[in-house]
Structure 1
Amino acid sequence: MYVCGGVIPELSGRRVRLRAMLPADAQALFGIWSHPAVAPWLDGPPLSSVEDAEALIDLLAEWAVEEESLRWSILGPEDVVIGSCGYNHWQLQGAYRGEIGFELSPAAVRQGFMREALELVLAFGFQSMGLNRMEALCHPDNLRAERLLTGLGFRQEGLLRQYRHTASGYQDVVMYSLLQGDTGAEERTERI
């Protein structure tokens, strides 16, 4: 069974590489996390500076040490940071489930980078962490994320009414899940 212990493993695919977030990623990640096409979908307070992004990277690293979260920077062609993804949280004993989160630079959308990154994350969760259930929470209007999740085999389970509180008020989310034994889940993760 995988135990993080604060070590964030590097995962490599055909066109993307996932590695631990570094302070040097703050500028690129701030540009993504604060972008008007990305920020409305995020579950967190809005960032107003690169220093806010640095503080968030530090916090995520601290949570990885405490085994509460596991987040990677996504590196695309020429090792440029194009987004981030990972486990917002996970629970082993009694549940064996994890919740994924992800965001991508608008300049990198519709090129298959996030799909490849999430295939790596899912394979790692199922094979190395021993998870049985993957979850993703998505704003009902985020159709791009919905298409990505369903394309990866996730199933919509239902609407969680006023599940999050954001700067704009309470927000509904849609729960998606993927089980280790779902048709196609094993084949997708074994290809990685």
Structure 2
Amino acid sequence: MYVCDGNIPKLESDRILLRRMEPNDAPKLFECWSRSEVREHSGIPELESLSSAVEMIQFLNALSETEDGLRWGIVKKESNEWIGSCGFNMWQLEGAYRGEIGCELSSLYWGQGYMSEAIQLLLNYGFQVMGLHRIEVLVDPRNERASRLFIAQQFQMEGKLRDYRHTTEGFHDVHIYSVLHGDWLQKQKEMPL
């Protein structure tokens, strides 16, 4: 059975590296999370200062030690530049074998395929290493960009969870999308070598 135990392994594709976030990523995290268009439908908090960004990185890394979450920084390999983060907000093995992912990308890099690569790395890790059967994502219905992204990554919308999230604006619905291990395996077989 999968045990995280504080380990945040490096994962990589052609253009990006997913790695443990470090304190020196704080300026980029602060810049990304300060963009209203990034926070608008994601539920991530606005950071007050650079030191709060360092604290957030420490908090996100600590989640892996208690197995309450697993978060990677997304880094462009060619420039070693931090451009976003992604990971498992939670997972449950025994009795469910499911996990929920979350992600955000600096709006400077939207539409360039980086998040698609990151999601594929998460799916590969979740299904091959963690042994998950189902991977879910919760999306604000107003976030059409995220909905299109997950549908393109073979997720299927299953429905709406009413008043599921609470923000400073009140309660909001979310759409739940999922991909099953069998769906993912079929997609792997269809991909050209």
- TM-score scaled to structure 2, two decimals? 0.93
Preserved CA contact (<8 Å) 1:134 1:177: yes
Alignment partner, residue 156 of structure 2: 155
Q: Runs in 1 of length 4+ with deviation above 3 angstroms?
A: 183-186
Preserved CA contact (<8 Å) 2:42 2:140: no
* 1:94 equivalent in alignment to 2:90: no
SS in 2 for 1:41: coil
C-alpha separation in 2, matches of 1:183 and 1:108: 26
Task: Give the C-alpha shift of residue 36 in structure 1.
Answer: 1.0
Task: Give the C-alpha shift of residue 45 in structure 1.
Answer: 3.2
Task: Give the C-alpha shift of residue 50 in structure 1.
Answer: 1.6
C-alpha separation in 2, matches of 1:185 and 1:80: 34
Structure 2 unaligned spans of 5+: none
Task: Give the C-alpha shift of residue 19 in structure 1.
Answer: 0.1
Deviates more, 1:132-141 or 1:30-39: 30-39
Structure 1 unaligned spans of 5+: none
Aligned partner letter, 2:61 = A
Alignment partner, residue 67 of structure 2: 67
1:141-184, CA deviations, whole angstroms, 9 ceiling, x for partnerless residues? 10111011000100001111111111111111110011001166
Aligned partner letter, 1:169 = G
| Residues 52 and 185 (structure 1), Cα distance of their counterparts in 2 relative to 1, 3 Å cut | farther
Task: Give the C-alpha shift of residue 132 in structure 1.
Answer: 0.6
SS in 1 for 2:182: coil
| Residues 30 and 14 (structure 1), Cα distance of their counterparts in 2 relative to 1, 3 Å cut | same
Preserved CA contact (<8 Å) 1:83 1:103: yes
Identity over aligned pairs, percent:
47
Preserved CA contact (<8 Å) 2:41 2:142: no
C-alpha separation in 2, matches of 1:99 and 1:69: 9
Preserved CA contact (<8 Å) 1:180 1:186: no
Aligned partner letter, 1:144 = R
| Residues 115 and 185 (structure 1), Cα distance of their counterparts in 2 relative to 1, 3 Å cut | farther
Matches within 5 A, 1:1-192: 1-76=1-76, 77-182=78-183, 186-187=187-188
1:86-120, CA deviations, whole angstroms, 9 ceiling, x for partnerless residues? 00111111111110000001111111000001100
Aligned partner letter, 1:159 = K
Preserved CA contact (<8 Å) 2:72 2:86: yes
1:43-95, CA deviations, whole angstroms, 9 ceiling, x for partnerless residues? 24322222222111111111110011000000013110010000011111111
C-alpha separation in 2, matches of 1:117 and 1:83: 10
Aligned partner letter, 1:12 = E
SS in 2 for 1:78: coil
Aligned partner letter, 1:6 = G
| Residues 165 and 185 (structure 1), Cα distance of their counterparts in 2 relative to 1, 3 Å cut | farther
1:124-147, CA deviations, whole angstroms, 9 ceiling, x for partnerless residues? 000000001000000001011101
- TM-score scaled to structure 1, two decimals? 0.94
Preserved CA contact (<8 Å) 1:86 1:100: yes
| Residues 120 and 183 (structure 1), Cα distance of their counterparts in 2 relative to 1, 3 Å cut | closer
